[in-house]
Amino acid sequence: MLRLEGITKIFGGLTALKDVSLSVTTGSITGIIGPNGAGKTTLFNIITGLYTQTSGDVYLNQKNISFFPPEVLAGIGLVRTFQNVELFGQMTVLENVMVGLHTKSHSGIFSCAFKMPGQIKEERYIREKALQWLEFTGMADLSGIQAENLPFGKGRLLEISRALAVEPRIILMDEPAAGLNSRETAGLAHLISRIRESGITVVLVEHDMELVMDICESIIVLNLGKKLTEGTPREIQENEAVIAAYLGDG
Amino acid sequence: MLGGMLTFFFLVIFGLPLAPSIILAILISTIVGITFERLAIRPLKNAKPIRLIIITIGASIFMRGAAMLIWGKDTHALPAFSGNDPLYIAQATILPQHLWIFAITILIIIASRLFFNHSIIGKAMRACAYNAQVASLVGIDVKIMVMLSFAVSAAIGSMAGIIIAPLTMTSYDVGIMLGLKGFCAVIIGGMSSGLGTVLGGLLLGLLEALGAGFISASYKDAIAFIILLLILFFRPEGLFKKKETERV
Amino acid sequence: MAIFISRKLKTMLKIKNINTYYGQVHALKNVSLHLTEGEIVTLIGANGAGKTTLLNSLSGIVPSRSGQILFNDTPINDLYAHQIVKMGISQVPEGRQVFKPLSVEDNLELGAYLYNRKRADKTETKKTGEMVYGLFPILKERRKQLAGTLSGGELQMLSIGRALMARPKLLLLDEPSMGLAPMVAQEIFQVIGNLSREKKTTILLVEQNARAALKLANRGYVLETGRLILEGTAASLLENKEVQRAYLGKDKKEIWER
Amino acid sequence: MTKEKRQILIFLIFALALLITPFFLQGSYYLNVLVFIGIHTMLAVALNLLLGYAGQISLGHAAFFGLGAYISGILTTRFSLDPWLVIVLAAVCAATIAFVIGFPILKLKGHYLAMATLGFGIIIYIIFNETVSWTGGPSGLSGIPSLHIGSWIFDNDLYNYYLIWIITLAVMLLSINLSQSRIGRALRAIHDSEVAARVMGINARVLKVQIFTVSAFISAIAGSLYAHTMTFIAPASFGFNFSVELVTMVVVGGLGSIYGSFLGAAILTILPEFLRFFHDFDIIIYGLLLIIINMFMPGGLISGLQSLAEIAAAKMKGKTRGDA
Amino acid sequence: MFKNLFRIIFTLLFFVLLAGAAVAAPPIKIGALFSVSGPASFLGEPERNTAQMMVEQINKAGGIKGRKLELIVYDTQADATKAVQAVNRLIKDDKVVAIIGPSTTGDSMAVIPVVEKAEIPLISCAAGIKITEPVKKWIFKTAQNDVLAVARIYQYMKEQKISKVAILTVSDGFGSSGREQLVLQSKDFGIEIISDETYGPADKDMTVQLTKIRGSAAQAIICWGTNPGPAIVARNAKQLGIKTPLYMSHGVSSKRFIELAGDGSEGIILPSGRVIVADQLPNADPQKKALLSYVNGYRKQYKVEGDHFGGHAWDAIMLLKRAIERGGDSPAAIRDELEKTKDFAGIGGTFNYSEQDHAGLTKDAFVLVQINQGDWKLIK
């Protein structure tokens, strides 16, 4: 589904990523792990169009999406969440998810201002759909709360709900478990599995190894900007190179 | 950044005997700068730039109003520092005040270069500008540094106002245009590059004069702002600064 | 269960039950630890375990919400970052954050920012400077260069050197090997070892590279999702399978949630 | 749904209150002040769409106001075109200019955006001032015809009041609609986090330019109406100071609130009337107001009023509950 | 804290409404619109001071036919919008019988439609020729037209055999109107404008324009503007070493100009109302009595020299007083009586209004003065 070929990214004189190639199969949950500074977030930013790579290409379903800006990527079904939770703080939970449905609606400024019949119908659709997604993530009862007043764990869930509202084919999550307690993490694991079951491919960068080992079918390890190895959780746990990368080779 | 905006606040009138009044004027405007920072900017530490801009505008209106009440609405002429008789150098004539401006500008540039490149406080200020958190980790009190930067920009701003006043005269509403053009010069030259700013200022003056000569003097200011727009559109990092690839 | 090596020496740093929050995230949960003069203690754990947060709480950047931090018996919880430096604690922040627009020399000079008032201090600073150049001869070679032009390893050296300029009693090192090639990382660790051996500097070393850190340290603590889960002598930790589990989550069922 | 109904009710009450106001102010000059409040409200709403919703500052909005006024003024006096036609023409013209400069200008952020819009405003101002043969230069352009429908001429305060306020109310209603639609949500999303908004598929760049264009369009209509009600225009009304005044209106009233814009416009239009008692202090009070409201009431006066109302409502509720 | 803020705001609002609803009082109400603050405050301030002083004097002397005058002054800030709001307030709320001001041509043009419709006489204190040309039924003015000032200068130049001039005008209402007249009348006097430059009202340096003029063959430079621009021109000219004689407009005929321009002002020639050279006038001059009374009165009350801007307000008040004395206090009567004004020797000149002329002055309203050792000297 998602394929990277020879991605290299140089910041100033610093090589953050060097010749990284990988692929993600449709309908899988893939984890990207690696020690701090390995280039995981940089890789995410390149895939989602926030950074431009120095060289290399990104393909989504055989289509080269290397230089697509994020808004276009959202339109063709690629969406992401953020490590630090980027909510629209001044808006309610429901409105946040409604923004997620932006690509699924088309009324222009004119029809919005004049409340054309089509727009009213569309608005109703957006609202219903958004509520559906909030139910999916179990947040429907919080829909009227202003997003910046949510507790952190709920904020994460909202961000995921909002991303789901884009109806993506593939969702990239940047450390979804960071800052969550163990119960929330367990809930998250369950949610991610359900997302996959609904046919969406999931890629996550995660530090919580319990989570990664638990739900990922395939894991890619980055170290010092290069791909170290890839494999199933068990393979990774037993791989000496990975253990060395994490624990040091002393 | 705010220094450019602040400059025009302090182009205000002070009309006592010359030498002591200049010192007093610089002192007072420095205090005003510090007060402004303490009362209006510091409480809003993490505010969005839009609110800072609006507060800055509010403060400038307020100070203009205060100046108008204290010194009246009339235009005042400041005596030149040393006489008004032009000097003749070859074909050109030049006023002693021009020499003063020239000398003081050079002095300020040299002083600020020395300050920022060779004094520990100056270096600490630059460190704060680059990365405030790490600066605090080496023992620099960031709050004091921010206050100091307001003080320095206020002092230099008022200094500029004072040296130019004998030529342009001064009144409560003078300075907006000058301040804005100062900002143009800074943008043309590139932020945080002292020499660039001076070159920017020179270039701006030159282009204005050329524009005035070839088109019409009445469009002088328009020319300045068109240049500003063009530079913002095409080279927001300034003409004389190398493009920096900063990791975001 | 802890084994204390140098009981006779004074306890320099004592952290009691601190809780720290990053915004809404509860990043440190009831963490307690202590450091004795002259020790190297390492704090290891996987990404996101809260190691950096602990250092930032210590140095006043992210103050803890509850608990107590005693440095030579003085509470320092409520001090600002710059005041803590004055107390004698210097942090080498993660990611080699030096002042890139300034020269190497200026960076070091700013490290000694606290000592710019008195003349006696200045001569002392000069000596410290010589010491740092002695530790890292490459910095002396490059002292006129802008810090932004240095390589990764050199940046890390400069970052450590800058912290040393404040003549700290306690040096906090945050992942000095992060993102460095193994050879370079090794060099850095060597210097840290020297510092402790020759200069008797007390060091709290945060590392992800557990093996290297434990080889260097006297004692170690293992942090997992904001909690201390293990402590002991470096040698005992090196042998402990639990450490590996904390990193890679192996055999998780047995030790899940304690 | 009840929320929506309540909003419609509020708007109807608001509109009704404004429409019957003249009966209490017959022959008073306050009617004239209210005409200006209407024009200023239109402008504040236009700027609020940009500043309050999309979070993009403009210190040059007086230029669009001026463009509307001058295009109307020039085309009706020098070419005797039909005023109604000219209003549309002027608005389209200003919107086109906004659209063209919008792309490069809205790429900028923060202080740079403020400076660029300010620069644009000053350039336009200088053009008004210097093209004497067209605009009459600094001493102004007089003899602009009043608007009329058939033989019904809008040349007194009462007629002008209804003309301006019906259009202003329409602008307010459309803006409220817009702010509660997907476009409004997208704008607020850009304001809160541009990156996240883009990831959600919002084309931030295009949308910002669109709203800038709409804002200019409304401002130009306000300008045209101003020209036709005043029948005289001079560049001094469209300078930097007025741009700042507009920003003040929006901020004082409340960023992101349409009714707030009305409140801000009303207060800033009436303020000078009673600041006359303070004589020369008005400019100081003006500056202080801007600082204080920004520091202590970031939501503006409207949110202050709202929270007061909520407190009152809560008290009432408490009482009734106590009774029951 | 917010609650208190609200309380203050609403209390203030309440007072405004009260003030607006005040009941009409017996005195004769006269409205005044002056740009007391803003860019044209140099006009508005002396005008307001003079008008207030005059009304005080008249009331002290028993008013007009036993009725006191009440002067209501609003500040227009030289902004058309504010001027229109203020004039509406004067007419509708204060119910004045006549209005003096505004100070600037722009403000005057802005309020004229309102005043004409309300049928209230207005005596403008601004100079622009557009105000009374074409003649509007209810509009008069006291400030000398720039037509006359230009004519006065050109006439003098012709006598001095100057035929090539450079003009340098400010791009505001005053300057652009002057420029128009300078260009228009040059042919009548056989004068050729060989250099035509402008500068902005807030400009601080005119060396560029002057350098261009220096390169031309001009025998004289005419600068048209109000303070502080011309003072800068004078300084710049001196600094460039320009020896060409410099002429200025009546816009700078106040002591302030000499102060601002310093040494640069020496030798400058300008047309002016007689007020600045009141004591140099021959005793036979019909205006001398009025002038001395104004100059001395103003100095006594405000401790500064009165100038001819204040004089415009003096004339306006006196014209009104005469009209009311003769015809009573209805707006229509005042208008009719104003139009009949003949040979009224005021500060700005000797006024003769008629159905065709609501400006009332001839070019004799101006004298030419030269600045000599920091003071005015009457040339002729």
To the nearest whole Å, the CA of C98 is away from the closest chain B CA by 8
Residue E344, pLDDT > 80, answer yes
Asked if the C-beta of C77 comes within 8 angstroms of chain B's C-beta atoms, the answer is no
Domain boundaries, chain C: 9-88+171-249, 93-167
Question: Is the Cβ–Cβ distance between A52 and A8 less than 8 Å?
Answer: no
**Interface residue of B48, B50, B248 to substitute, partner A, most A CBs within 10 Å:** B248
Is the four-CA dihedral B230, B236, B240, B243 of positive or negative sign?
Answer: negative
Strands E69-75 and E98-100: unpaired
Contact D295 B226 (CB under 8 A): no
Q: Is the pLDDT of residue D285 over 90?
A: no
User: Are E377 and E281 spatial neighbours (Cβ–Cβ below 8 Å)?
Assistant: no
Asked if A246 contacts C250 with a C-beta cutoff of 8 angstroms, the reply is: no
- Give the count of domains, chain E: 2
Domain count within chain D: 1
Q: What residues make up the domain containing E195? A: 147-272
Chain B hits for C110, Cβ within 8 Å: 120, 123-124, 127, 135, 138, 140
Two structure tokens written together for D280: 């020369």
Q: C–E contact (≥3 CB pairs within 8 Å)?
A: no
Most confidently modeled of C23-32, C213-222, D67-76, E249-258? D67-76
Instruction: Out of 3.40.50.300, 3.40.50.450, 3.20.20.70, 3.40.1260.10, select the CATH number for domain A2-87+168-247.
Output: 3.40.50.300
The 10 Å CB-count burial string (b at 16+, else e) for B142-158 is bbebbbbbbbbbbbbbb
**Chains C, A in contact: 3+ Cβ pairs under 8 A?**
yes
Spatial distance between the Cα atoms of C50 and A179, rounded to a whole number of angstroms: 10
Gap from B242 CA to chain A (nearest CA, Å): 13
Domain residue ranges in chain A: 2-87+168-247, 88-149
Note whether C102 contacts B: Cβ–Cβ < 8 A. yes
Least confident of A89-98, C228-237, D263-272, E200-209: E200-209
Q: Domain of D65?
A: 3-21+29-237
* Global confidence as pTM: 0.84
What ipTM was reported for this prediction? Answer: 0.81
Pairwise CB contact (< 8 Å): D295 & B59: no
Whether the CB of D271 is below 8 Å from some CB of chain B: the reply is no
Q: What percent of chain C has pLDDT over 90?
A: 19
Residue % of chain E over a pLDDT of 70: 93
- State the Cα–Cα distance between residues A222 and A230, nearest whole angstrom: 9
Q: Which CATH class is domain C9-88+171-249?
A: alpha beta
Can you give the pLDDT at residue A170?
94
Is position D286 within any domain?
A: no
Question: What are the pLDDT digits (tens) for C103-156?
Answer: 999 999 898 888 877 777 888 888 889 989 988 988 998 888 888 888 888 889
User: E strands, chain E, where?
Assistant: 28-34, 69-75, 98-100, 122-124, 139-141, 164-170, 192-199, 220-224, 246-248, 269-272, 344-345, 350-351, 367-372, 375-378
- Using CA atoms, how far residue D297 sits from C147, D58, D257, D304, E318, in Å, is 43, 21, 14, 7, 52
Q: Do B217 and E239 touch (CB under 8 A)?
A: no
Kindly list the domain boundaries of chain B, sorted by start residue: 2-170, 174-242
- The segment with the largest mean pLDDT, out of A205-214, D95-104, E172-181, E260-269, is D95-104
Q: CB of C21 within 8 Å of any CB in chain B? A: no
Which chain A positions have a beta carbon within 8 Å of B248's beta carbon? 51
What's residue E59's pLDDT? 92
Mean of the pLDDT values across residues B116-136? 86
Confidence band (pLDDT; 50, 70, 90) for A26? very high
**D79: in domain:** yes
Is D45 an 8 Å CB contact of chain A?
Answer: no
Any CB–CB contact under 8 A between A186 and chain C? no
Chain B neighbours, 3+ Cβ pairs < 8 A: A, C, D, E
Token readout for D306 is: 């709202």
Q: What pLDDT is recorded for position C21?
A: 86
Concatenating the DSSP letter of every residue in B76-129 gives: BPPPPBTB-PPEEETTEEE-HHHHHHHHHHHHHHHHHHHHHHHSHHHHHHHHHH
* Residue B118 scores a pLDDT above 60: yes
Both E153 and E268 in a single domain?
Answer: yes
What number is the average pLDDT over the span D10-16?
92
Rg (CA), chain C: 18
Rounded distance between C-alpha atoms, residue D59 and residue D246, angstroms: 9
Give residue A24's pLDDT: 92
The tens digit of pLDDT for each residue in C2-52 reads: 444 445 567 889 999 999 987 777 888 899 999 998 899 999 887 777 888
Residues E152 and E255 in one domain: yes
- Cβ <8 Å between D177 and A115: yes
The reported pLDDT for the residue numbered D313 is: 77
Which residue of chain B is at minimal alpha-carbon distance from E208? B209
In a domain, E173, yes or no: yes
Please name the residue that has the structure tokens 């060097």. Answer: A18
Choose among B5, B225, B232: nearest Cβ to D122.
Answer: B225
E strands in chain D: 141-142, 148-149, 152-153, 232-233
Confidence of residue B11 (pLDDT cuts 50, 70, 90): very low
* Weakest-pLDDT range from B213-222, D11-20, E116-125, E224-233: B213-222
For residue D48, the model assigns a pLDDT of 95
Question: Token match 């009331």: residue?
Answer: E59
Extract the tokens encoding E220: 């004289």
